[in-house]
């Protein structure tokens, strides 16, 4: 019995250079994570409103809240983006990298600039569009 358990654990660890890496389940990959979900486009087509913030995320720790409005990413205005997918692509990045967000706060109506470091999270692989 202990031999079977040892084999199962060994199958999960994949040697990679000087350290071991945990193999990810099929359909998932380790990616950079901020912890925000965007709203669906409103009747006017705007998609830059934050619909939800993961409670255990860099976005939550930075003070981002539901209803905040993304005005800029890394010094570029979001006004010219055509879709929610375009904005999501701009927000994506490798774990450990930073993103500078300019947000219109839902609670104070102030323009805030936040620098957030993406963390590594196991996320579903998104289908190609």
pLDDT for 123: 76
Q: Is the pTM of this model over 0.85?
A: no
Percentage, residues of the chain above pLDDT 70: 78
CATH of domain 30-123: 2.30.42.10
pLDDT for 50: 97
Q: Is the pLDDT of residue 99 over 80?
A: yes
Q: Is the pLDDT of residue 80 over 80?
A: yes
Tokens at residue 34, please? 């901020």
Cα dihedral across residues 108, 110, 114, 118: positive or negative: positive
């Amino acid at each position: 019995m202990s031999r079977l358990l040892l084999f199962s654990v060994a199958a999960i660890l994949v040697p990679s250079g000087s350290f071991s890496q945990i193999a990810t389940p099929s359909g998932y990959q380790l990616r950079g994570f901020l912890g925000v979900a965007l709203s669906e486009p409103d009747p006017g087509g705007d998609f830059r409103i934050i619909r939800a913030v993961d409670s255990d995320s860099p976005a939550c720790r930075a003070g981002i809240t539901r209803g905040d409005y993304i005005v800029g990413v890394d010094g570029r205005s979001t006004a010219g983006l055509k879709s929610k997918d375009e904005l999501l692509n701009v927000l994506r990045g490798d774990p450990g990298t930073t993103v500078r967000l300019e947000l219109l706060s839902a609670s104070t109506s102030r323009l805030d600039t936040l620098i957030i470091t993406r963390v590594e999270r196991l996320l579903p692989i998104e289908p190609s569009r």
